[in-house]
Structure 1
Amino acid sequence: MRVFVTGATGWVGSAIVADLLAAGHHVTGLSRSAEKAFALEVLGAHALLGTLADLDRLARAADEADAVIHTAFDFANFPAGAAEDRQAIEAMGAALRGSDRPMLVTSGLAKLAPGRLATEDDAPDAAFARQSEAAAQAVRDRGGCIATVRLAPSVHGVGETHGFVPHLIRLAQRTGVSAFLGDGANRWASVHRQDAARLYRLALEQGVTETAYHAAADEGVPFRDIAAVIGGVLGVPVEPRGREHFGWFADFAGGDMAATSERTRRLTGWKPTGPGLLAEIAQAGYYAPVVGAGAGLPA
């Protein structure tokens, strides 16, 4: 297949590109800079310079592809990023309309089913700021072949410098305590980066038949266990703290974001093989690239 990938040089997108190429597919990746475009070319992909704001360019690239995988999102400016994300999905979806060529868009598991395991049948909170799934539904309502891959809150791997866990590591380094909210029993689903990448490919190869797929290997890791491993590696106390300790991150630190991927595995044959979250972050090597990295979440 000829696959167009947005966010092709990002944490998840770059792993998807490598996985697709290794499986014999042809990839065109969207890149915001010549330097990153060169990195794509070295891998064997074709690079397309542009951003999500270049709607005509996105539509042309989608029209020339057999499938589209959309992972790009501007977390640094969330409201504007959410609007840009929706417009990009609509533009690429319109280009694919009238065909059976599939498109996979990316979302997350936050606020799906607090207090229980979220399933692929659960719908996101309509008030949630990220509107990727609503945009996908609008494309689907117009006859598009489109589905959402919901990423676990932790997509981990050695080399990760952004995302939720690196943020917690930097917070513990700065404050001298690895903290949790309340009793820390709230759970995070997690998935290894390489496993997440493989799911996107399998969903395309098996035929996109669902509205949502769950990239969740660990169904739910208690947050206090995450804090305990971080504290152990850094040699700092592991203690409860109030919301003010976490600042803007408090809703995520206290969020219950557990999910099952049973249906996804059954339909696609996906079998996660990477290390679980706790085993991953227990490695001293996981922390080296986090030190001194920026505090933002992945773009």
Structure 2
Amino acid sequence: MVNVFITGASGFVGSHLTPILLAAGHKITAIARSESAAQKLEDQGITTIRATLEDIDVLAKAAGEADAVIHLGFIHDSRSYAESVEADLAVITAFGTALKGSNKTLITTSAIPVAGVPTPTELSPGKIPPRAASEQLTLSFSSPEHSIRSHVVRLPPTVHGDTDRGFLAHYIGQSRKAGFAGYIGEGENHWPATHVKDAVQVYKLVLENASGSLKGGEVLHASQEAGITLKTIASAVAKRLGIPTKSITKEEAGQTYTFLALFLGIDCVASSELTRRWLGWESVEKGVIEDLEGSGWYFEETSVTKF
């Protein structure tokens, strides 16, 4: 049994991770911003601490008392993305200080496109600012000076499944409003994708590391599908909504999809070969197109996004 401290436990990924960790016999402590979030976690048998990601001293104390830390939380509010990343760096720094010299496990979260190359692998260093700094900081804790078993799990732009309120949900909602499912240019650029139930297995396997294959300082790719073209995703969305697909410019993408326009042009085919080899991870859930074809969640008109 591992006593693990988790941030973001009530979020999309966290809410799918906590049940499988509890089922495996692990003990969880998590932060909760609201009474309702705390109650939902406590109903599962999770110990809660009322705090936010800006309560650095509280986070550091909880991390120091745990056997391992999984950092899923990220601030999504009215502040700028750069400010949210700065807050994230403050949290990771606090974890590094609290765990220094302990040889305990720290798992943080990043995004596959941070590698900044068209075909990233787990060995591709993070290059795209400002999020790359979070990766670099986490991995630096694996040095002999810090003696932390630190790892980064990179998630793809599309982590899909019921209760998702992220990029894919936003894309669908904005497409419904616009009356078309858009893609930039020919739409032949790629997004990696992973079902959330497959993604959380990566965190669990890193935490347990039963094979002993991880020594610290590794990046893992939770990439179930290496790359699906945006035109393919748009076609699946258009079919479900009963609207046409449409090639649009970057400027039109900004008008239609707001912040998501920055990501619609990403072309990334991500390998997860090393992750599968190191962890024995196997993706078993439905792919993104199959999920879209059969999903009730994504196409409920009452669905909202977190953005």
Decide whether the 8 Å contact of 1:63 with 1:95 is kept in 2. yes
* CA deviation profile, 1:108-163 (whole Å, cap 9, x unmatched): 01242443x21000011153346320221343344222110000111100232x21
The amino acid of 1:182's aligned partner reads G
Q: Out of 192, 198, 201, which is 2:201 matched to?
A: 198
Q: Percent identity between the aligned chains? A: 34
Show the counterpart of 1:250.
261
Show the counterpart of 2:102.
99
**Deviation at 1:272?**
1.0
The amino acid of 1:244's aligned partner reads E
Query: Which deviates the most, 218-227 or 76-85?
Result: 76-85
* CA deviation profile, 1:241-266 (whole Å, cap 9, x unmatched): 11122213222111013211110011
* CA deviation profile, 1:191-234 (whole Å, cap 9, x unmatched): 11111111101011115424200000001001100000000000
User: C-alpha distance in 1, partners of 2:156/2:90?
Assistant: 24
Q: Out of 241, 251, 263, which is 1:234 matched to?
A: 241
TM-score when scaled to structure 1?
A: 0.93
Show the counterpart of 2:277.
266
User: C-alpha distance in 1, partners of 2:245/2:135?
Assistant: 36
The amino acid of 2:245's aligned partner reads V
The amino acid of 1:277's aligned partner reads V
- What secondary structure is seen at the aligned counterpart in 2 of 1:131? helix
- What secondary structure is seen at the aligned counterpart in 2 of 1:173? helix
Root-mean-square deviation over aligned CA pairs:
1.6
- What secondary structure is seen at the aligned counterpart in 2 of 1:287? helix
Show the counterpart of 1:147.
151
User: C-alpha distance in 2, partners of 1:239/1:270?
Assistant: 37
**Deviation at 1:284?**
4.3
2:140 aligned with 1:125, yes or no? no
Show the counterpart of 1:7.
8
2:189 aligned with 1:182, yes or no? no
Show the counterpart of 2:46.
45
Residues matched between the structures, number: 294
The amino acid of 1:292's aligned partner reads T
**Deviation at 1:168?**
1.0
Decide whether the 8 Å contact of 1:13 with 1:71 is kept in 2. yes
2:139 aligned with 1:137, yes or no? yes
Structure 1: gaps of 5 or more residues: none
**Deviation at 1:188?**
0.6
- What secondary structure is seen at the aligned counterpart in 1 of 2:253? helix
The 5 A counterparts of 1:51-90 are 51-76=52-77, 77=79, 78-90=81-93
Show the counterpart of 1:157.
161
2:297 aligned with 1:286, yes or no? yes
TM-score when scaled to structure 2?
A: 0.91
User: C-alpha distance in 2, partners of 1:286/1:180?
Assistant: 22
Decide whether the 8 Å contact of 1:153 with 1:257 is kept in 2. no
- What secondary structure is seen at the aligned counterpart in 2 of 1:110? helix
The amino acid of 1:136's aligned partner reads T
- Residues 68 and 111 (structure 1), Cα distance of their counterparts in 2 relative to 1, 3 Å cut: closer
